[in-house]
Amino acid sequence: MTSNDDADADRILDGITVVDLTTFVTGGFATLMLANQGAEVIKVERPEVGDDNRHSGPPFVEPDPDYDGPGRTADDNGESPYFWTINYDKLSVEFNLKTDSGLEALYDLVEEADVVVENFRPGTAERLDVGYDDLREVNEDIVYCSISAFGETGPWSSRPGYDLLVQGTSGIMSVTGPEDGDPVKVGLPQTDLITGMWAAFGIVGSLFRRELTGEGDRIEIGMHDAALPWLTKQAGKAFVGEQPERMGTKDPVLAPYQAYPTADGYLNVGCGNQKLWEELCAAIDRPDLAEDDRFASNPDRVANMDELETELSAVFRERPTDEWVDLLADEHGLPVGPVYDVPTALDNEQTEARDVIREVDHPALGTVPVIEHPLNYEHADAGFDGAPPLLGEDTEAILRGLGYDDAALTRLRDEGAIPGE
């Protein structure tokens, strides 16, 4: 096996090898989380094509034309920055799993691995001879995670699915957007990421169980199932016969808890209890609002949310966002904050102070930015050391680590199992 030379020896998943058969985001984010904790993640990609997420763009970034090392971009346009964000610290091999020798190479890899993750449509892994039963014959202790849109049972199990579809079936879109507008997709691939996090959680749990019992396991996750526990407040209303509605930035059980327009942008205000509400009224020089019967308690404010919005919007429009943040958050310690665009979210004093955005060396691009994961341990290390891999960058090194010599590599190339030189 190969690994990053500077990988820390005291990361929680150090020594764990993950074979990643997934494409796009769900499995990719799960294995990204594992890589952040020290696992060696090996992406098995289609020759010449790679992970579909390599082609997600524009934008694309052109590689250094003088780079002549292993691997390549999977698109003439260059590298997709979207691909970077899901594939730091991974290795890439190209195996044609529709050839006998490509499948043999995968089995050799799985024999030395701890985890396999796949997100084929149900039944596809079995048709490719890479299902759980197939790989368990190779490695009986394997932890095998299957991810699909709707799971492997039920009337929707054979349906294809993407984040957009599951945002619809999970009810998320029905409660997102303006209250008098159409259903709105959350502006990031939320159900992909939710599912990826559940998958990583399940994999780590299964690895812990294996430490206790010596037994591997199979984890089966549907994106639709994975999204439903996140409904929380909205599900609570539905459980008692109420219909959750779109509310814009408002909250169904708290007020004020929303975004308000300011002189130059928007301000989020989240008063989670009565004390904070009263302190807010004093800080904005509107003590009369705290004494108003319409806003006397949180249930009153929720019942009169529109009137409360009118009152507070008129106040907050009087000053720019930064002035309100200085006054209310910094001076009075109240839960208010700005609504940033994405570039500002990635580049501000708090993000910088926490070292969330860093750079790592990339063989064909010089350096690329990295969004670090938020787990900070006192007694262990975490974080990314390596750039996302070029397509097939590690194919030869991984195979040589498994014992393949020059003749074996030539055979694989001749049989179409791996790309030619």
Which residues are tagged catalytic?
Answer: 192
Question: Do residues 91 and 42 touch, judged by C-beta distance below 8 A?
Answer: yes
Rounded CA gap, 80 and 384, in Å? 19
Rounded CA gap, 93 and 395, in Å? 4
DSSP one-letter code for 328: I
Q: Is 89 left (phi over 0), alpha (psi -120 to 50) or beta?
A: left
What ranges in 155-297 are assigned the alpha helix state H?
A: 163-169, 190-213, 223-227, 233-239, 274-283, 287-291
What ranges in 214-354 are assigned the alpha helix state H?
A: 223-227, 233-239, 274-283, 287-291, 298-303, 305-316, 321-324, 342-346, 349-353
Rounded CA gap, 205 and 34, in Å? 12
Which residues lie across from 221 on neighbouring strands?
147
Question: Do residues 148 and 142 touch, judged by C-beta distance below 8 A?
Answer: no
For the chain, helix, strand, coil in percent to 5 are 40, 15, 45
DSSP strand pairing (357-362 vs 366-371): antiparallel
Q: What are phi and psi of 236, to 5 degrees?
A: -60, -40
The set of residues, in sequence order, having a beta carbon less than 8 Å from that of 175 and lying 6+ positions away, is 234, 244, 245, 246, 247
Q: Is 333 left (phi over 0), alpha (psi -120 to 50) or beta?
A: left
DSSP one-letter code for 62: P
Residue 369: other Cβ atoms inside 10 A:
13
Distances (CA, A) of 99 to 96, 113, 413, 415: 6, 21, 11, 7
For 131-153, give the DSSP string. SHHHHHHH-TT-EEEEEESS-SS
Distances (CA, A) of 324 to 177, 264, 280, 283, 284: 25, 11, 11, 10, 9
Residue 393: other Cβ atoms inside 10 A:
23
